[in-house]
């Protein structure tokens, strides 16, 4: 199951939300170590600080976004 989830462009960004990484237009830092993502449909979503390191890894980003 883990191998399948690594191949798909979806990722959990909080306890209640999963997003399609291919639909992220822009990512910016937010308060408290969280990040905010602007999606292609102009919706803004908060990425919990728990999931920020996982997102950086999936996007291949080592430092700050």
The predicted structure's pLDDT at residue 4: 61
The predicted structure's pLDDT at residue 5: 61
**pLDDT tens per residue, range 25-64:** 999 999 999 999 999 999 999 999 999 999 999 888 876 6
Which long-range contacts does 52-58 make (Cβ < 8 Å, 24+ apart)? 54/11, 55/11, 55/13, 55/27, 58/11, 58/21
**Domain ranges in the chain?**
2-59
pLDDT of 1 higher than 60: no
The whole-model pTM stands at 0.80
């Amino acid at each position: 199951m883990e191998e399948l989830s690594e191949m798909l462009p979806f990722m959990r960004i909080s306890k209640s939300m999963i997003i399609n990484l291919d639909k992220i237009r822009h990512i910016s830092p937010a308060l408290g170590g969280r990040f905010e993502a602007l999606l292609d449909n102009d919706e803004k979503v908060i990425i919990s600080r728990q999931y920020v390191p996982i997102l950086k890894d999936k996007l291949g980003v080592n430092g700050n976004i």
